[in-house]
Amino acid sequence: MAAFGSQFFQPLGATANCSPASKKSCGRRRGNAVVAVGRDSAADVSLQSKVNILMDKIKWDDKGLAVAIAQNVDTGSILMQGFANRDALAKTISSRKATFYSRSRSSLWTKGETSMNFINVHDIFLDCDKDSIIYLGKPDGPSCHTGSETCYYTSVSDLLDQQTVENNLALTTLYSLEATIAQRKAESVSPQSGKPSWTKKLLLDDKLLCSKVREEANELCQTLEDNEDKSRTASEMADVLYHAMVLLARKDVKIEQVLEILRKRFSKSGIEEKQSRPSSN
């Protein structure tokens, strides 16, 4: 998988254990870039050199900054956005924790150094102009200082409608659907509340729900077996996904948990992964 496994940068010497508190003892300044090192091995020096070459490729603005966006590697949600300077990017590379430059405090800060809700960076991407950075990673907890999962919870359409909707997160399709299903589940505790809903019917009837999951999986297969057209396959897959997600909601399982499992499995080949599973699976 593109962003995982062997393609991810390797930790530098003892740097994986460098905590924010100990950064002075494990950091070493080369030019503007701090690269944490454990010992002066040839590999460390070589990697420092590569990091410095990388830093020189980035188009820092007149304040020495580039935009840095933290994104959840599993869900794709944009967690927060800050700015990075050379030191912040170097520290993110060496510590694997999303680190920014605070313009108000004129200092580095690692997200989570106070709250412990670090963002564990799996890979970093640069844009075509080399002046914008994505930290693609997994958050330990809420990424916003307000306790919200992400910092983007205010919808302009709500503001224009003069509605106050608390914590209306910027959700993409799969997670909007998950949120809708969760809302129907909350309503289904009082079956008379809210509108009639197919989702509520499914949530209240395990037999119906399971029969639909099996039926839709079968219909998806039939689009291959009967050589139906692509649009039919896409539509049947939508049915499978929706009904399976209702089942997840029924069991209080989040789609993010499922994606995390897939990410961990596919860092090795499918056959290797299957061989490593318990025989019951």
**Residues from 8 through 67 that contact its own copies (CB under 8 A):** 8-9, 47, 50-51, 54, 57, 67
Q: 32 Cβ partners below 8 Å, 6+ apart?
A: 55, 64, 85, 86, 87
Q: In this structure, which amino acid lies at residue 274? A: K
**Is residue 251 near its own copies by the rule CB under 8 A?**
yes
Q: Choose one: 18-26, 34-42, 110-118, 209-217; the region binding its own copies (CB under 8 A).
A: 209-217
Build a one-symbol-per-residue string for 67-96: x at contacts with its own copies by CB under 8 A, - elsewhere: x-x-xxxxxxxx-xx-----------x---
Contact 57, 121 (CB under 8 A): no
**Is residue 204 near its own copies by the rule CB under 8 A?**
no
**Is residue 235 near its own copies by the rule CB under 8 A?**
yes
- Biggest CA pair distance of the chain: 70
Instruction: Compute the distance between CA of residue 147 and CA of residue 176 in angstroms, rounded to an integer.
Output: 20
Q: Choose one: 23-31, 33-41, 160-168, 185-193; the region binding its own copies (CB under 8 A).
A: 160-168
**Is residue 166 near its own copies by the rule CB under 8 A?**
no
Q: Which residue has the tokens 């079968």?
A: 218
Q: 48 Cβ partners below 8 Å, 6+ apart?
A: 28, 30, 33, 35, 37
For its own copies, give the closer residue by CB, 21 or 128.
128
**Is residue 151 near its own copies by the rule CB under 8 A?**
yes
Q: Choose one: 13-21, 32-40, 106-114, 208-216; the region binding its own copies (CB under 8 A).
A: 208-216
Q: With CA atoms as reference, report the closest residue to 86 among 62, 55, 123.
A: 55
For its own copies, give the closer residue by CB, 22 or 258.
258
Residue in 40, 41, 59, 127 binding its own copies, rule: CB under 8 A: 127
Q: With CA atoms as reference, report the closest residue to 89 among 114, 45, 121, 46.
A: 121
Q: Choose one: 18-26, 33-41, 94-102, 240-248; the region binding its own copies (CB under 8 A).
A: 240-248
Q: Which residue has the tokens 């030019």?
A: 31
**Is residue 230 near its own copies by the rule CB under 8 A?**
yes
